Amino acid sequence: MSQDNEKYDAIVIGGGIAGQESALNLADSDQKVLLVEKDLSFGGKMIHLSKVFPTLDCSACITTPKMSETARHPNITICTYSEFTEIEKLPDGTFTGILTRHPRYVIEKDCTGCQDCEEVCPSVVEDQYQYGMVGRKAAYVPFSIANPRIAAIDIENCILCGACERACPADAIDFTQKTEKTRVNAGSVIVATGFRLFDPAVIRKYGLGKYKNVVTSMQMERQLVPTRPFNNVLRPKDAKVPDNIAYVLCVGSRDLTIGSPVCSQVCCMYSVKQGQLLMGALPMADVTVYYLHVRAFGKGFEEFYQQSRGMGVKYVKGKVGTIEEKENGDLILRYEDIRDGSVKEETHDLVVLSVGMLPNPEAGSLFAGNALELDEFGYVRQVDMLKNPASTSIEGVFVAGTASGPMDIPDSIASSGAAAAEALSYLKRKR
């Protein structure tokens, strides 16, 4: 471990929209901030979305300038592919912990992002940033708008052929890199570790994985962006242009049978959004949404929902029981029509499961002795939700965004502002 302690006013853990917003608020108030992101790029889930409800603004167009502002801010240091753990509170009210930087096997300052290494690499694995719909190489730049936009070697899938190192014009590949650990001290901590996506493969009756034309809503987000995995919105089985698409809402939300009682708050509205985007991308397609309730609770949401109806998206109040595949890849949905209790069947050629949000369990293990308390659902516990919504069970540690519960982007940003304000006032009090 490096002997020199690094010191900051605040450490923000998680570089999604919430972490970035907290870091920028603190940095603009002259605080030195370390932003720690475990992925190869910061940006969180938002960087991978198509457009955002209810305005239909392009998600990447909003996120990339914010990412550049965060990366360029003189008061912010960003460590990607890193983790900050074993955090302890010291008697003077400050915090200490271990920053672990994982090796990319690429010298960050030398890599130009030219992707020559990627071109020659023979090893292909599922691209996690396209949610498995296409492959990527073991030597790869994570995605086109990654920040930093530099390569990494996925050593677990590397066959050690050395082609990337020979091809790199900048001599940036370095297989001798090792994990680095540094002790870091800070005046306060903001936890912005975000959410996990529910994995619908556990609900076997929906057939995700088994039936290739059953996809998740996150896969559909990727199909709707310009940097999409396919050349259009297509079925993953046979690349047919779908013309009769079904949405199944509340997959992994409000469902005690899978231990997830919470409403994910965003699935209704992102499904309404995707329905509208699909009508634009595939003007001949029918889109049917199977729902229990449409929760259009925010400003402009009801109008957005009505707009989708006006565009021709069909809404069926029905609980989907099972999905079965036909020989041609089409899917038979068997559902209970809630209006009259009858069981009906309908055939669609693509089914989208609107997956819910789950807590990220990593938030609980950041602190030594798991000192940070979680609530009954597994999110970071807000000890004073009404008066100080960002306060946690540890004074001086604050929570931002979906680490405290499901919420959309505007609410994540508002919650991050609150976390930064509370952190600032803690820092001022302790000085």
Partner 1 sequence: MDEKIPTIKEMKKSRQVPDELKARVKEYGRIKKEILKALETKRGTIPEIAASTGLRQEVVTYTLMTMRKFHEIEVEGLDDMDEYYYYRKAEV
The distance of closest approach from Cβ of residue 339 to ligand FAD in the complex, given in angstroms and rounded to an integer, is 28
Q: Is 241 in a helix, a strand, or coil? A: coil
Binding site for ligand SF4 (CB under 6 A): 106, 111-117, 120-123, 138-139, 141, 150-151, 153, 158-164, 167-168, 170, 172-173
Name which position in 12, 40, 49, 423 contacts ligand FAD (CB under 6 A). Answer: 49
Name which position in 28, 108, 171, 384 contacts partner 1 (CB under 8 A). Answer: 171
- C-beta closer to ligand SF4: residue 24 or 153: 153
Contact between 119 and partner 1 by CB under 8 A: the answer reads: yes
User: How many residues of this chain bind partner 1 (CB under 8 A)?
Assistant: 37
The distance of closest approach from Cβ of residue 422 to partner 1 in the complex, given in angstroms and rounded to an integer, is 44
Contact between 231 and partner 1 by CB under 8 A: the answer reads: yes
Q: Considering Cα of 158, then 160, then 166, then 169, what sign does the dihedral take?
A: positive
Rounded CA separation 229/83 (Å): 29
Q: Which amino acid appears at position 11 of this protein?
A: I
Contact between 1 and partner 1 by CB under 8 A: the answer reads: no
- The partner in contact with residue 231, picked from ligand SF4, partner 1, ligand FAD, none with C-beta cut-offs of 5 to 8 angstroms by kind, is partner 1
DSSP state of 142: S
Instruction: Choose among 298, 299, 309, 242: nearest CA to 272.
Output: 309
Instruction: Choose among 154, 170, 72, 155: nearest CA to 115.
Output: 170
Instruction: Choose among 178, 181, 179, 148: nearest CA to 6.
Output: 181
Give the interface segment with partner 1, choosing from 24-32, 60-68, 127-135, 383-391 (CB under 8 A).
Answer: 127-135
Contact between 122 and partner 1 by CB under 8 A: the answer reads: yes
Name which position in 6, 199, 325, 362 contacts ligand FAD (CB under 6 A). Answer: 362
Residues 44-83 that bind partner 1 (CB under 8 A): none
x/- letters, 192..231, toward ligand FAD (CB under 6 A): xxxx-x-------------------xx--x----------
Instruction: Choose among 111, 140, 112: nearest CA to 124.
Output: 140
Rounded CA separation 192/410 (Å): 15
- The partner in contact with residue 184, picked from ligand SF4, partner 1, ligand FAD, none with C-beta cut-offs of 5 to 8 angstroms by kind, is none
- C-beta closer to ligand FAD: residue 213 or 354: 354
Rounded CA separation 252/202 (Å): 9
Residues 11-40 that bind ligand FAD (CB under 6 A): 13-19, 36-39
- C-beta closer to partner 1: residue 209 or 361: 209
User: How many residues of this chain bind ligand FAD (CB under 6 A)?
Assistant: 39
What are the phi and psi torsion angles at 103 (to 5°)? -75, 135
Sole residue written with tokens 């082609």: 163
Rounded CA separation 173/13 (Å): 28
Longest Cα separation, the chain: 70
- The partner in contact with residue 52, picked from partner 1, ligand FAD, ligand SF4, none with C-beta cut-offs of 5 to 8 angstroms by kind, is ligand FAD
DSSP state of 203: S
Cross-strand pairs, 344: 335
Give the rounded distance of the alpha carbon of 44 from its chain centre.
5
Name the site residues for partner 1 (rule: CB under 8 A). 118-119, 122-124, 133-136, 155, 157-162, 165-166, 171, 173-176, 212, 229-232, 234, 236-241, 284, 329
